[in-house]
Amino acid sequence: MDTREALGSWIDGPKAAAEKMGADFGYRGERLGLPKEGPGSIAGPGRRIGALFVDGWLVSLVSFGMLAKGDPAEANLWTLPLFFLVAVLLLSTTGTTLGKRLFGLRVVRLDGRRATIPQVLLRTLLLCLVVPPLVWDRDTRGLHDKAVGTVEVRI
């Protein structure tokens, strides 16, 4: 084996090395029975992060302008609880938040139906803990989604 090839497989990661040896991982969501592209397919990480950024920005704006009346220290205290409340309220009623809607996303159960209120509560709590969304499986579902049996799909 060439040294450059061994170094390249180390840099590319284990998935790329396994694919070079002939392993077929399929597309994101194939194991879950979801389509490869279009409505119902698993949302990519870029869309999900963008939606989360928009939701966080909107909640920060509300907490700074309306709840804290311009005091940044007080606004920081309100932001996370307000994010939790807004996310739970919107996800349990519509399946999407403002940021998710802007990016064309919806949170659903693995069978395609709307997530239940307990699922939304636990998912949002785990999302607010920050670490679970950073740990993904090969379908790019975070631990917060895997724990409650949900998936974020394109609409």
Which mean pLDDT values do the consecutive 10-residue runs of the chain (155 residues) have? 54 67 76 90 93 95 81 84 96 97 96 95 95 87 94 95
CA gap 135, 141 in Å, rounded: 8
Q: What is the pTM of this model?
A: 0.80
The pLDDT of residue 12: 66
Which contacts (CB < 8 Å, 24+ apart) does range 74-82 have? 80/128
The pLDDT of residue 75: 79
Are 4 and 17 in contact by the 8 Å Cβ rule? The answer is no
The pLDDT of residue 59: 94
CA gap 151, 109 in Å, rounded: 6
Q: Which residues have CB under 8 Å from 141's CB, separation 6+?
A: 42, 151, 152
